[in-house]
Amino acid sequence: MSTSTPAAWLIAGAPGAGKTTVARMLADRLEPVPALLDKDTIYASFVVATLAAAGRPFGEREGPWYDEHIKVHEYTGIADTAREIRSAGCPALLVAPFSEQIRHKDRWADYVERLGGDPVRLVWVRSDPGTLRARIVERGNDRDAQKLANFEAFTAATRPDEPPPVPHHEIDNRHGAPPLDQQVERLHAATGPVKGTT
């Protein structure tokens, strides 16, 4: 894709960090309005059905089996969908943890290519274990039971308070951080006068 191609925005961070809230705030400010692709919205029923068909625990969302049989298809599919949307001239805003893609420079470069190339803007939503646990408990989602039961392993895998080693914008959603709308407004102002594109 050329540099005139609409941007892909990736809203990343640990499950429960507040990615969907940030994505909606950002989408409200972008022109043209991006296609919003939330991994959980797109794949929730697929994941539940696949886990059930394979006799896996309902709350399984991490681990070698999940990565091989489910996660790879989620992340490939959402990237390919975003690429197709961008090729038609519409920006795309993707919401997912992107835990593997943002933690390794080579994997990040490969994923940017899969998305159709630059411009790709990564927005990382920062949290911390205490804030994350409180938010996960508050949202009361059945699929979070395994995360809470193995919380130390979950936070070790998702690294909610460790910035990724690839270029990104940070939104701080820990308790005591500045209001999200102010942070998103600053982010929007800092990304250039042509909204939703380069």
**Does pTM surpass 0.85?**
yes
DSSP states of 91-122:
-EEEES--TTTTS-HHHHHHHHHHTTSS-EEE
Q: In whole angstroms, how far apart are CA 152 and each of 149, 157, 167, 184, 194?
A: 9, 9, 27, 30, 42
Determine, yes or no, domain membership for 1. no
Question: Residue 141 belongs to what domain range?
Answer: 8-190
Determine, yes or no, domain membership for 156. yes
Determine, yes or no, domain membership for 103. yes
How high is the pLDDT of residue 196? 32
Determine, yes or no, domain membership for 126. yes
How high is the pLDDT of residue 139? 86
Determine, yes or no, domain membership for 116. yes
**Structure token pair of residue 31:** 């022109």
What's the whole-number average pLDDT of the chain? 91
How high is the pLDDT of residue 82? 98
Determine, yes or no, domain membership for 196. no
pLDDT above 80 (res 193) = no
How high is the pLDDT of residue 195? 31
Cβ atoms < 10 Å from Cβ of 64: 7
pLDDT in tens, 24-49: 999 999 999 999 999 999 999 999 99
Contact between residue 180 and residue 173 where contact means Cβ atoms under 8 Å apart? yes
CATH number where 58 lies: 3.40.50.300
Determine, yes or no, domain membership for 2. no
Tell me which of 54-68, 81-95, 125-139, 181-195 is least confident: 181-195
How high is the pLDDT of residue 62? 82
Determine, yes or no, domain membership for 135. yes
How high is the pLDDT of residue 192? 56
pLDDT above 60 (res 14) = yes
| Number of domains within the chain | 1
**Sequence-ordered alpha helix ranges (H) in the chain:** 19-29, 39-53, 64-66, 72-87, 105-114, 129-139, 145-149, 151-158, 180-190
How high is the pLDDT of residue 59? 85
